[in-house]
Chains A and B, each alone.
Chain A
């Protein structure tokens, strides 16, 4: 990215996002003021609700887990020049893969369920993304269109299965029975209990560590392996890639499959960790937020993790805000979240030229 040449990396990765974030908060404060509430108090509730006490931190990290997975999925595909906006559907179908093992093969020993369910979840997510990848590589159908269409196909398929086939009889909600304990991921509460630390109940579970590991592995894959190099070359210039002996079609399909598997891990977090049963619409828009997370994190795994933390905090703090201040409805919280996405994602280039000029002047002087 040559446009970044004029400013140091710290300004690009730290200063610029901070300025954008600050501006988003100032604007949000004005909105809160406009509806007649105290913006300082709102901000305090938001921050305290997100990181003020152990349970809040656990929820923030739980949401962040989802965002790390979906953010990485978008970021990885982006390096191959692909815009995967089908994380929602890929995670949804991955939930099915997880549930198939956790529901119907739960007589197996625990380690086999553990590995099998995660693997099948990732495989389902990968397959759901590989088809649009194949269509892009071989038929030229744009992944933006096909992945979003696949979201709808996933929703239709899952609602059908849950309403007709997998539903627990006599229950109002279209969802399966709860998995048995040995077919779930251990919760953070349980894991901390093993080492004698008492933790509050929350949906935070083992998948959090998987998310950190995934971020590290994605970094290694993209910047430290031949495949990652091929991926980046295809993303930058397909012609050059072909000239260098790289098969763009294969690279695109593989990139989409890995991206889908990463999105699928969000399904693992939700289904095997948090809900411990398969239910309708569990993805709840986390797949789409992953796009904003990747944009804000500059498609770098570390950036994605930090952005995911911010979004996790916004989700959790936002829920507390709606809870504590009656005048601030859930729509207001969405407005605040929207402003942050707008400034950090869509308008991220607004201040770039000014700051670049500043640095250039500084250098010249």
Chain B
């Protein structure tokens, strides 16, 4: 039973054009597709593709690191128009499997794999974080703003550095408090600890907190709501979670990256190579909608918009700690 399936998959993969008929595949990272943040953004992109084209996609949520390579290989073997791996942790697995399946297209989010059949999409998170840092500093009454990170890894520090620079740019006297949730991947799904850290920062006078911590963030937002302070969401637009205390969200359009990879693969316009999406490409940004419009004054929005333009024009350079 296994062999015909395999043969079919190979035939499809080899016959390039026929690959357009096969469904795309996406693999979510350990946080899970319903983390209301990073992975969920990817899920939203895939769902949008499904709704618009009527094509279902294959998916997999991994539970441990050892499964990565195996799952990506499984998805590739079944024949996929494109295999999308969500998250930097898949770097090595994509590197290995992409070499084994030179005719299958791969897209990786948040890391750059330099191979002829891999499309790498990264984001300039520091630019978006800069803007929400400004929003935090300009909204804070105490002059103290906070940051709760997930796991203490370079990419989370990239968010922090941009946030800090933005806050200081808006108001040089502002004090920025920073906590990382932990040193294991659990740090991305620990809302209890997130709430605890947020409360600790509130006790020290913080009145706006930015969480770049995946599902841990939900605890931070709840704590902010309970204490009547402001919180800033991340990755997905999380403004709707607690309207009134969600100041804004630093959106990272993973959904667009996933959606585009799928539609491009279907249309035959998918291209390998590295793409970095920043403010200019609208890959990152600050979410303004009905849920938070009332929280930000026209003056604040104007200053933020000026800074946004200045970053796009290259007049302001935000430090990228990963470079």
Contact = CB atoms under 8 A, between A and B. Distances in A.
A281 B63 contact: no
Contacts of A270: 66
Contacts of A160: 152, 183
B115 to A, nearest CB: 14
A171 interface: yes
A113 B2 CA distance: 40
For chain B, the bracket of interface size reads: 35 or more
A249 interface: no
A63 B70 CA distance: 13
B64 interface: yes
A172 B122 contact: yes
Contact of A201 (B2, B100, B122): B100
Contacts of B66: 62-63, 203, 270, 274, 284
B63 A159 contact: no
B2 A159 contact: no
B67 A319 contact: yes
Given A319-B67, A322-B60, A329-B61, A275 B92 contact: yes
B116 interface: no
Interface in A298-332: 315, 319, 322-323, 329-330
B252 interface: no
B2 A334 contact: no
Given A163-B153, A333-B63, A172 B185 contact: no
Interface string B236-274: 000000000000000000000000000000000000000
Contact of A334 (B60, B63, B100, B182): B63
A285 B100 CA distance: 29
Nearest to A153: B183
Interface stretch (A12-20, A25-33, A72-80, A173-181): A173-181
A319 B154 contact: no
A262 interface: no
Contacts of B184: 155, 159, 281
Nearest to B64: A284
Nearest to B152: A159
A159 B153 contact: yes
Interface string A275-292: 101011110110000000
Most buried by B among A277, A284, A333: A284
B151 A173 contact: no
Contact of B61 (A155, A274, A330): A330
Contacts of A274: 66
A173 B91 contact: yes
Contacts of A156: 183
B91 A171 contact: yes
Nearest to B78: A323
A163 B154 contact: yes
Interface in B105-136: 110-112, 122
B60 A172 contact: no
B139 interface: no
B64 A285 contact: yes
A170 B183 contact: no
B65 interface: yes
A363 to B, nearest CB: 47
Contact of B71 (A171, A175, A323, A334): A323
B92 A172 contact: no
A277 B74 CA distance: 22
B70 A167 contact: no
A28 to B, nearest CB: 17
B154 A167 contact: yes
Given A59-B70, A163-B152, A173 B64 contact: no
Given A159-B151, A167-B154, A172 B112 contact: yes
Contacts of A172: 88, 91, 110-112, 122, 154-155, 322
A160 B152 CA distance: 8
B192 interface: no
B61 A173 contact: no
B272 to A, nearest CB: 17
Interface string A150-192: 0010011011100100010011111100100000000000000
Nearest to A62: B66
A289 B306 CA distance: 54
Contacts of A10: none
Interface in B58-110: 60-67, 69-71, 73-74, 88-89, 91-92, 100, 110
Interface string A107-137: 0000000000000000000000000000000
17 contacts: A62-B66, A155-B182, A163-B154, A171-B91, A172-B88, A172-B110, A172-B111, A175-B92, A274-B66, A275-B92, A279-B89, A280-B89, A280-B153, A280-B185, A281-B185, A323-B74, A329-B61
Q: Which 5 A-B pairs have the closest CB atoms?
A: A172-B88, A172-B111, A159-B183, A284-B64, A173-B88
Given A152-B183, A173-B91, 19 more contacts: A63-B66, A158-B183, A159-B183, A160-B183, A163-B154, A171-B91, A172-B91, A172-B111, A173-B153, A203-B66, A275-B92, A279-B92, A280-B89, A281-B65, A284-B65, A319-B71, A322-B60, A322-B61, A323-B74
